[in-house]
Amino acid sequence: MEFTLRTKVNASAKAIYEAWLSSEGHTKMTGGEAEASDKIGERFTAWDGYIEGINIELVPNERIVQSWRSSQFDDNEMDSKIEVVLKESDDQTELILTHSKIPEDGDHYKRGWEEHYFTPMRAYFSGEQNAP
C-alpha cells in the first residue's frame, strides 16, 4: 500500500528539515521522544521507539527519504519507506509525505501522520505549543 498526504506548516522548509533530523527538534515538534540524525545511512527512532528506520536520501531543506517501520510490523516484514518533500512559499511550507511499501492496509498510519505529526507540528511552528 502507498499513500500521499499534504499539509501546510507556518515555518520555513529549513526549520522543518532541521527539526525533523534533530533529536531535540523532532521530539519538540511531535511531542514523542526521538533520536534523529542528519546523516545518510544513520538510524533514527521516533515516538518513544514506536518508529525506527534509516536515512536513505537527504537533500537539505527540500527532501528526506527514510526507511520506516513501526513496532506493529512483524519481524519478517520489510521496512516501508517515507519521502518528505518540502515546498516553501509565502512564509509557509507545504509538506508532502508519501508513505510506501506498507505491508498492510495502513489506514491507521494515515490517521497517525495527521494526529502524531501534522497537528502537533502545525501547533509547534505556529507558537501555540510551548517548548518543553
Per DSSP bridges, beta strands 3-9 and 43-46 are unpaired
Q: Is residue 109 part of a domain?
A: yes
Report the alpha-carbon distance of residue 55 to residue 36 in Å, rounded. Answer: 9
Q: What is the pLDDT of residues 41-59, one digit of tens each?
A: 999 999 999 999 999 999 9
Task: Please state the rounded mean pLDDT for residues 88-98.
Answer: 95
Q: How many domains does the chain have?
A: 1
Task: Please state the rounded mean pLDDT for residues 18-25.
Answer: 98
Q: Is residue 87 part of a domain?
A: yes
HSE of 93, CA atoms in CB hemisphere, 13 A: 23
Report the alpha-carbon distance of residue 61 to residue 49 in Å, rounded. Answer: 25
| Secondary structure string (H, E, C) spanning 25-52 | HHHHHHCCCCECCCCCCCEEEECCCCEE
Q: Is residue 90 part of a domain?
A: yes
CATH of the domain at 34: 3.30.530.20
Q: Which domain holds residue 87?
A: 3-125
Q: Is residue 130 part of a domain?
A: no
Q: Is residue 113 part of a domain?
A: yes
Q: Is residue 39 part of a domain?
A: yes
Q: Is residue 19 part of a domain?
A: yes
